[in-house]
């Protein structure tokens, strides 16, 4: 036995140790990935068109109402979205986590569906439903009450409509964090409160709410940041309504004639605000921090709803109808009739839109190929990068490993539109001209999705004792061989979940992509946005459903893998 182990050790030892050069290479790649676009963004913001140092860009931002207005509008809309998403998520999370509500598992699955639905696609679906003239809901309203053709009940092209749609696709962040927090509260705490004479409202106020407050604040902040930095939904709903938010204003600065210096200056306050909010969240949660100390505890006792079970289920389904049931039905209906205003009957059913998208529209195949190719490569490369950086930082293998962790986490504070501007400025000049190629999109996707993958895999590494890795090192294996042969297989489920997460993120991304695509590098999300400007809702619906099918296939595969847990917990 000893001879066999020694022989195996010798065979392992023959491999050259490339760990140190690879770790250095990854560190340099991360620096270029994160710091280079931010550096060019900062340089352009403080220079003029002639390259001379100037603060004129910031002066204009602070004094020109056409820029001050979009900033204030974006802040107001983001705050409203966070509040609206919280109002819908809090009761739904409580019903699912703490009561005997029927179909709780199905409701969790539908929340996952609303999470993976691209927000810009949801905005287009609500265009189909609630446009003032052609919206399906307004058509029903006029038909039922016999009103004039221009009477309408809903108008999605307003600030209120924009807040409504963004809240529909932001509430899953709050819901998932709240349900997880409610699930993890030990039953003994609430039972002790009841034993000591506390009423149910008093227990809720003094025990339950303080325990879930950090999760609620974190979810509301995520919803706020998502609304503040989002491009697709405001571009689809706000621009037709005649107003800008700051992300659409930055995008407009790259239209003819482009003004990259002013765009860079406009992007920096958005970046700084995001960083400050993330730091504020950590400070706030640090001051109101609660921890459970003890061994394994029982699950919280579910509250019987009695006769209120079915009204509560109706409320839950009504909430989920807004981001899922109604929009999906609108997309399917629009895809199989010739014009969106047609009634769905046997006479109006047609394959015209499907034939047009897949047989006649010349950009479909290239966009689908680019989307899937970028999704697979970005998911594979991002997972490898996150796995390697997590291994280096968690095990402290190289000097400066904390800086690597900072670089892997820093992009979480970079809004997509800001990153798009930074990458555009970085790679449209020698020596590395990547604009007009898929490489610049790949860099954008890697940067955007790296923080989530890194944090997930780093958490998995914390639960894995390093003694098996040390045994491999004793027998002569290099760091890379240990990672490949021992550590990665033990973290298989987390690695696969990270791969799926990055792939879904690529499918959903529009904010950075819209800044970086050309005619030959368009992806499906950009094609959908372009078709929306031309008003071809039938083709959009077919492409949107195709995008959803691809996404749900990936999520479905992920949910079938053992040990992955609830998919929505992995996706937040």
Domain residue spans of the chain: 17-49+351-572, 55-291+308-338
421, 264 in Cβ contact below 8 A?
yes
pLDDT attached to residue 565:
45
pLDDT attached to residue 542:
94
Q: Is 49 exposed, middle or buried (0-12, 13-18, 19+ CB in 10 A)?
A: exposed
How many Å apart are CA 116 and CA 236, to the nearest integer? 19
Q: Which of 385, 149, 413, 401 is nearest to 281 (CA)?
A: 413
Residues 6 or more apart whose CB falls under 8 angstroms from that of 233 comprise: 119, 120, 122, 123, 162, 165, 166, 169
Q: Show the low-confidence residues of the chain (pLDDT under 70).
A: 1-20, 22, 186-207, 280-301, 396-401, 463-480, 483-484, 486, 488, 558-572
pLDDT attached to residue 398:
63
pLDDT attached to residue 464:
67
pLDDT attached to residue 160:
94
pLDDT attached to residue 3:
41
How many Å apart are CA 554 and CA 550, to the nearest integer? 7
pLDDT attached to residue 1:
40
pLDDT attached to residue 29:
86
568, 111 in Cβ contact below 8 A?
yes
pLDDT attached to residue 204:
65
Query: Coil, helix or strand for 303?
Result: strand
- For 97, phi then psi, to 5°, come to -85, -25
pLDDT attached to residue 18:
57
- For 163, phi then psi, to 5°, come to -60, -45
pLDDT attached to residue 471:
65
How many Å apart are CA 126 and CA 99, to the nearest integer? 31
pLDDT attached to residue 566:
45
What is the crossing angle of helices 401-409 and 19-45, to 10°? Answer: 50
Q: Which of 458, 339, 451, 441 is nearest to 387 (CA)?
A: 458
Q: Is the peptide bond prior to 431 cis by the omega test (within 30 degrees of 0)?
A: yes
User: Do 17-49+351-572 and 55-291+308-338 share a fold?
Assistant: yes
Mark 504-543 as b/e (b = at least 16 C-beta within 10 Å).
bbbbbbbbbbbbbbeeebbbbbbbbbbbbeeebbbbbbbb
Q: Which of 420, 437, 419, 421 is nearest to 520 (CA)?
A: 437
Q: Is 310 exposed, middle or buried (0-12, 13-18, 19+ CB in 10 A)?
A: exposed
pLDDT attached to residue 11:
47
CATH code for 55-291+308-338?
1.10.3720.10
Q: Which fold does the domain 17-49+351-572 belong to in CATH?
A: MetI-like fold (1.10.3720)
Q: How far apart are the first and last CA of the chain?
A: 47
How many Å apart are CA 167 and CA 86, to the nearest integer? 9
């Amino acid at each position: 036995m000893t001879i066999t182990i020694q022989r195996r050790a010798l065979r392992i030892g023959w491999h050259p140790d490339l760990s140190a050069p690879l770790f250095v290479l990854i560190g340099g790649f991360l620096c270029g990935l994160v710091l280079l676009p931010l550096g060019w963004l900062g340089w352009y913001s403080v220079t003029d068109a002639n390259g001379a140092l100037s603060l004129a860009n910031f002066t204009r931002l602070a004094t020109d109402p056409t820029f001050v207005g979009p900033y204030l509008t974006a802040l107001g809309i983001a705050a409203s979205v966070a509040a609206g998403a919280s109002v819908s998520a809090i009761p739904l999370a409580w019903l699912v986590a703490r009561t005997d509500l029927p179909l709780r598992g199905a409701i969790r699955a539908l929340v996952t569906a609303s999470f993976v639905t691209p927000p810009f696609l949801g905005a287009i679906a609500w265009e189909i439903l609630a446009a003032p003239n052609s919206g399906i809901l307004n058509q029903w309203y006029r038909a039922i009450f016999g009103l004039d053709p221009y009477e309408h009940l809903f108008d999605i092209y307003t600030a209120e409509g924009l807040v409504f749609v963004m809240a529909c696709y932001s509430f899953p962040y709050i819901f998932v964090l709240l349900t997880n927090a409610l699930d993890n509260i030990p039953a003994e705490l609430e039972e002790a409160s009841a034993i000591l004479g506390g009423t149910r409202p008093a227990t809720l106020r003094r025990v339950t709410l303080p325990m879930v407050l950090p999760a609620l604040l974190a979810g509301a902040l995520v919803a706020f940041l998502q609304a503040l930095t989002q491009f697709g939904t405001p571009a689809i709903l706000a621009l037709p309504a005649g107003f800008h938010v700051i992300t659409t204003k930055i995008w407009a600065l790259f239209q003819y004639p482009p003004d990259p210096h002013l765009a860079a200056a406009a992007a920096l306050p958005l970046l700084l605000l995001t960083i400050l909010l993330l730091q504020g969240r950590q400070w706030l949660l640090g001051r109101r921090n609660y921890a459970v100390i003890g061994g394994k505890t029982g699950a919280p006792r579910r509250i019987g709803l009695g006769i209120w079970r079915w009204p509560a289920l109706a409320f839950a389904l009504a909430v989920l109808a807004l981001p899922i049931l109604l929009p999906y039905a609108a997309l399917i209906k629009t895809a199989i009739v010739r014009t969106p205003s047609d009634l769905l009957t046997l006479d109006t059913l047609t394959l015209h839109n499907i034939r047009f998208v897949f047989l006649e529209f010349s950009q479909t195949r290239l966009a689908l190929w680019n989307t899937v190719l970028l999704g697979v490569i970005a998911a594979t490369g991002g997972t490898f990068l996150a796995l390697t950086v997590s291994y280096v930082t968690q095990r402290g293998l190289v000097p400066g490993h904390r800086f690597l962790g900072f670089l892997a986490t820093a992009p979480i504070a970079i809004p997509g539109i800001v990153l798009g501007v930074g990458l555009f400025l970085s790679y449209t000049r020698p020596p590395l001209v990547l604009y007009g190629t898929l490489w610049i999109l790949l860099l954008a996707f890697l940067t955007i999705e790296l923080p989530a993958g890194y944090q997930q895999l780093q958490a998995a590494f914390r639960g894995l004792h390093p003694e098996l890795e040390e045994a491999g090192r004793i027998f002569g294996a290099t760091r890379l061989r240990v990672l490949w042969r021992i550590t990665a297989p033990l973290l298989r489920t987390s690695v696969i979940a990270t791969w799926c997460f990055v792939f879904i993120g690529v499918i959903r991304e529009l904010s950075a992509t819209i800044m970086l695509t050309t005619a030959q590098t368009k992806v499906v999300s950009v094609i959908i946005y372009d078709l929306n400007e031309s008003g071809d809702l039938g083709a959009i619906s077919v492409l949107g459903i195709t995008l959803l099918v691809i996404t749900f296939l990936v999520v479905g595969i992920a949910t079938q893998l053992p040990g992955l847990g609830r998919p929505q917990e992995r996706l937040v």
